[in-house]
Amino acid sequence: MATRPSILITGAAGDIGRATALRFAGKGYRVAVCDVRESAANETTETIRAAGGLADAYAADVGDSASVAELFERLKRDYGRLDAAFNNAGRGGGRTPLDESDDALWDDCIRVNLTGTYYCMKQEIKLMLAQGGGVIVNNSSLWGLHGGPSATYTASKHGIVGLTKSAALSYAGKNIRINAVCPGLIDGGLGLKVLSQAPEFVSGVVGRVPMGRPGTVDDVASAVAYLCSDEAAYITGHSMAIDGGCGSV
């Protein structure tokens, strides 16, 4: 029997992470389900197993280098290789203007979103270089391509786009493809769940979406699956907007 391909998904207990984990499990991948919340990672894992998929739960804080190093030691022992990785873990930044922003919010947003992506990519690339290739997808944001209401969050997501492009250039000749997805307003995760605290703001945002609706977590999962597939074999360094046309306005 052929060995199943494997993928690491961080933030896999959140709505986007869980949907993506289920999508890859359904495509025959063995899924390393990682989240800072161990019990939630276990829930996603059990959901995959109940549907007939293969998954394993891991707890790690992506913003802590020692925690990420320990995660990858376990992955190397349990999996031996990673065919793909979706660096999805992140946190929101609210809508606080820059002059009112708390320094602790800045520090933690950069730590989790940008530094966490960096720590994971560093380990993933080392593993993929040793095995001869692989695919990495990072979760940025529509506000990683444009300005957003939170300078802290926007800066961290712009950083992910830059990190993606730089690494894609460095490893394009090493059979490692690196891309990013940039979701707009999504009906889960850090999208409508968080922004629903400001319904007038959300109504205004949805009203400006050319397709007339927020995106779904499955829209994001589909994009990640495509970028990790052989159908995207000539795509690297790309930041894919999943925004219902907002970036074209």
Whole-angstrom Cα Rg for the chain: 17
Whether 153 sits among the annotated catalytic residues: the reply is: yes
**Per the residue annotation, which of 58, 79, 153, 171 is the catalytic one?**
153
Q: Are 86 and 8 in contact (CB under 8 A)?
A: yes
Upper half-sphere CA count for residue 169 (Cβ side, 13 Å): 5
Phi then psi for residue 126, to 5 deg, are -60, -45
Q: Are 186 and 192 in contact (CB under 8 A)?
A: yes
Q: Are 12 and 44 in contact (CB under 8 A)?
A: yes
Residues 6 or more apart in contact with residue 230 via CB below 8 angstroms = none
Residues in the chain: 249
Catalytic residue IDs = 153
